[in-house]
Structure 1
Amino acid sequence: MTLGGFLRLAWQTLVAPREVARLLLSLRLGHEALLLAFALVVVLNTMIFLATAQISPPSDALVPLLSNPVIFMLTLGGTLGVTAIALTWTGRSLGGVGRIEGVGLLLIWLQAVRMLVQLAVMVLMTIDPGLAGLVVVAASVLGVWILTNFLDEAHGFDSLFKAALVLLLGVTGMALGLSFFLTLIGATTMGLTTNV
């Protein structure tokens, strides 16, 4: 894919997410292609986030995560992988027909589009940090809208409400599962005082 084709498809994702989802799902990429695309977006996103952190230092809570690129990359990759699994299983439990490969591909594409937004934010931070913050908020809202449409296509619901429910339940389940896991390993109390 050329840069022009990538940018056109990214724009199409904003204005007609269902059509882009249908196009991507029709590609039926093999596992090797999916894993390569997955690795590429994780590595590129890591590089962009680290460059952004140089321009605008993150909050103290994020410094340990961003100070080690490998940890950040593994966290991003793990989150993306678990999200694909959670949204596939949740959708299927509600009668959807989505496959992990399809949902994964759509999430990978969304991460690729997100890289463009992150690059724009990085440039805006040097010009107008307030405007950069507004772009982040707008991109987050638009990202939820796009993902809801993607899930609707992937699972064949023909109902944005059902797709939104999949997103809500999938993310909630991930948060509860992560919270439970962190509690089991004792990570939730690390660094906290006893008199909080």
Structure 2
Amino acid sequence: MILDGFLKLALQSVTNPREVAALLLSIRPNREALLTGFALVVVLNALLFGLSILLDPTGAPGFIGGPVSFLVMQGLALAATILALTWMGRLFGGRARVEEIALLMIWMQGLRVLVQAATLLVVPFSLALAGLVTMGATALGVWIAVNFLDEAHQLRSLLRALAVLVLGMLAMAFAVSLILTLAGVTPEGMLDNV
């Protein structure tokens, strides 16, 4: 029953993302629930990453290492994304709080878990089809994220929400690259594994 509700809400996230965003925002979970959800999606993504390494050991970039390294990087990237999208939205006149953006991004990571699971099921049959699933999911993810940001920040403009998303992702990428540099990961080290 819970899985059925999750899948229906996942489908509705594609067909009517603004309504799902409003529904999620109306829940107003406490900080403990947000942290639990954050940890859950990061761990599930890392587990699926580990499973994908088992299926195709050559597919993982060497600088990531294994599932534990991926878990840490995923957690840092998600936290940086939440902060970047909150701050960038505020620069565009948005009103969302960090907790609201966190809730929506955690939900999107839950959707990502679904896509990763579906992709893992398709890979043994067709790499091309798995690639198409990934590309389609990425496009849908942008659509959902733009609508979620517009609803959360109350920007009243999908173009402004798209600008928040693009600039927020650039800010997040800069922050993560800075963290990786401080951790000693260099471009040369990453290229050695290519």
Which stretch of the first structure deviates more once superposed, 176-185 or 162-171? 176-185
Which of these two proteins has the greater Rg computed from alpha carbons?
A: 1
Q: Distance in 1 between matches of 2:157 and 2:58?
A: 38
Which deviates more from structure 2 when the two are superposed, residues 144-153 or residues 182-191? 182-191
Any gaps of 5 or more consecutive residues in structure 1? none
Larger RCO: Structure 1 or Structure 2 (Cα < 8 Å, ≥ 6 residues apart)? 2
Q: In the alignment, what sits opposite 1:63?
A: 62
For residue 172 of structure 1, report the CA deviation from its aligned partner.
1.4
Inter-partner Cα distance in structure 2 for 1:92 and 1:160: 15
Q: Where does structure 2 lack aligned partners over 5 or more consecutive residues?
A: none
1:78 counterpart residue number: 76
Partner of 2:169: 171
Q: Normalising by structure 1, report the TM-score.
A: 0.90
Between the aligned partners of 1:93 and 1:157, the Cα distance in structure 2 is 11
Q: How many aligned residue pairs are there?
A: 191
Q: Partner letter of residue 77 of structure 1? A: G
Q: Does 1:112 align with 2:134?
A: no
1:137-148 matches, cutoff 5 A: 137-148=135-146
RMSD value over aligned CA atoms?
1.9
CA contact (8 A) 1:56 1:125 kept: no
Equivalent residue for 2:152? 154
Deviation (angstroms), 1:176: 3.0
Picking from 125, 128, 133, the partner of 2:126 is 128
Q: Quick one: percent identity of the two aligned structures?
A: 48
Q: Which residue of 2 aligns with 1:98?
A: 96
Partner of 2:189, secondary structure, is: coil
Is 1:25 aligned with 2:25? Answer: yes
